[in-house]
Amino acid sequence: MSLTLSKKAQAVKPSSTLAITAKAKELKAQGKDVVGFGAGEPDFNTPDNICEAAVKAIHDGFTKYTPASGTNELKEAICKKLESFNHLHYEPNQIVISNGGKHSLTNIFSAILNPGDEVIIPGPYWLSYPEIVKLAGGTPVFVMSTKEDNYKVTADQIRKACTDKTKALVINTPSNPTGMLYSEEELRAIAQVAIEKDFYVVADEMYEYLTYGSEKHVSIASFGEDIYKRTITCSGLSKSYAMTGWRIGYTASSVEIAKLMGSVQSHQTSNPNSIAQKAALEALTGPQDTVETMKAEFNKRRKYMYERIQQMPYISALEPQGAFYVFVDVSEVLSKSYKGQKIEEVAQIGEILINEYNVAVVPCGDFGYPDHIRLSYAISIEQIEKGLDRIEAFLKELQ
């Protein structure tokens, strides 16, 4: 007998993005004028038609269990969206609807991994991938990219990282935290490696609607049967429809994998919230103009933020093409001193900014890049302006 705790759970780091977001919200609640560049959370309210669908669901008594992997009507709506937007054909029995994107990823790795299986994660990566892989018994293998490569890994790098234990590769485009998009050519080369080496591709396309430049979002599963059957595409409603709190994510995969994920989910959580499923149905099938309005606003903020950062001393960034993040290189700041104290770690920058300048940013050590910070532009332009003024004031203090 022993009261020791799970080694697997103890090996997991808490989500620093959520911790920073919570801290910024708490300080705001205490009356502090905090600018929150931390949260990957749209500042817009969920559009009215979506909220109304949820209210109607409550009044109609749609408040009971649904099938564990989600309602058929929502699966059908997801299939239609996958067909028209992603050029992917799926039937409803290939779709599993879950409690947000993280839950979808948890299901995916639970369905495909055996102990010791390796999952290639290109860096910079969203901090939850390695933790979710570890929880499912897998081993993350990081393949890092550089700013010179636009923070994107190449097919050759992936090929070199393959071992006989490689089970899957995560491809996140548009990327959190870099805002970069993989081009069709780059994705085709990566798909070729997946086919050649025979591993799964976990395509996290959560930010698929949020692209701004000439580069368009492309789904890797759309390149033909060989890659389609190896890919599990995952997305959700949180970012495009300002529905972070509703927790609706989904996967599209082979029927076999969908069945496994459905079984796992049936024991772990049962169905995603019934009311949120009705809201998601309205989001996907109702008017889409709010998505465009939000996207246009993100685009304005993106341009403003990028231009301002270009003019600041010691920091630099690539112009983001998608999502709502700017990935800022702060390596020069790490050789400076602030008020006589040497700045040695990116976490110190985060601490100084929140404690002395009331600005929340995400230090990116947990994203694999300890000389970068992530700034979200999912906040109003006024807030962005104020927050950047403060960051600039901090930079001017450096010696």
- 40 near ligand GLU, rule: CB under 6 A: yes
Pick one of 12, 15, 144, 319: the residue that binds ligand GLU (CB under 6 A).
Answer: 15
Characterize 156-187 residue by residue with b for buried, 16 or more Cβ atoms within 10 angstroms of its Cβ, and e for exposed: ebbeebbeeebbbbbbbbbbbbbbbbbebebb
- Does 39 bind ligand GLU (CB under 6 A)? Our answer is yes
Of 223 and 367, nearer to ligand GLU (C-beta) is: 367
Closer residue to ligand GLU, CB minimum distance, 47 or 101: 101
Please list every residue from 309 through 338 that binds ligand GLU, using CB under 6 A: none
Candidate ranges 12-20, 26-34, 62-70, 276-284; the one touching ligand GLU (CB under 6 A): 12-20
Residue from the set 17, 46, 104, 107 that interacts with ligand GLU by CB under 6 A: 17
Question: Which residue number is nearest to ligand GLU in terms of Cβ?
Answer: 40
Q: What are phi and psi of 72, to 5 degrees?
A: -65, -35
Q: What 3-state class would DSSP assign to 245?
A: helix
Where in 172-201 is the site for ligand GLU (CB under 6 A)? Answer: 176
Question: Is 243 a residue that touches ligand GLU (CB under 6 A)?
Answer: no
Residue length of the chain: 399
Alpha helices in 136-273 (DSSP H): 155-161, 184-197, 225-228, 255-268
Query: Which one, 17 or 222, has the nearer CB to ligand GLU?
Result: 17
Residue number, 191 or 294, with CB nearest to ligand GLU: 294
Nearest distance, CB of residue 229 and ligand GLU, angstroms: 28
**186 vs 124: CA distance, rounded Å:** 17
187 φ, ψ to 5°? -70, -40
CA atoms of 108 and 232, how far apart (whole Å):
8
Mask 88-127, x = binds ligand GLU (CB under 6 A)? --------------------------------------x-
Taking contact as CB under 6 A, which single stretch among the options 14-22, 89-97, 117-125, 167-175 is the one that binds ligand GLU? 14-22
Candidate residues 12, 18, 27, 318; the one interacting with ligand GLU per rule CB under 6 A: 18
Q: Which two tokens stand for residue 32?
A: 């502090």
Q: What tokens does 133 get? A: 């892989």
- Tell the smallest beta-carbon distance from residue 250 to ligand GLU (Å): 16
**DSSP label of 12:** P
| 375-397 per-residue burial string, b: 16 or more CB within 10 A, e: under 16 | bbbbbeeebbeebbebbbebbee
CB of 38 to ligand GLU, least distance (A): 7
| List of residues contacting ligand GLU (CB under 6 A) | 15, 17-18, 39-40, 126, 128, 176
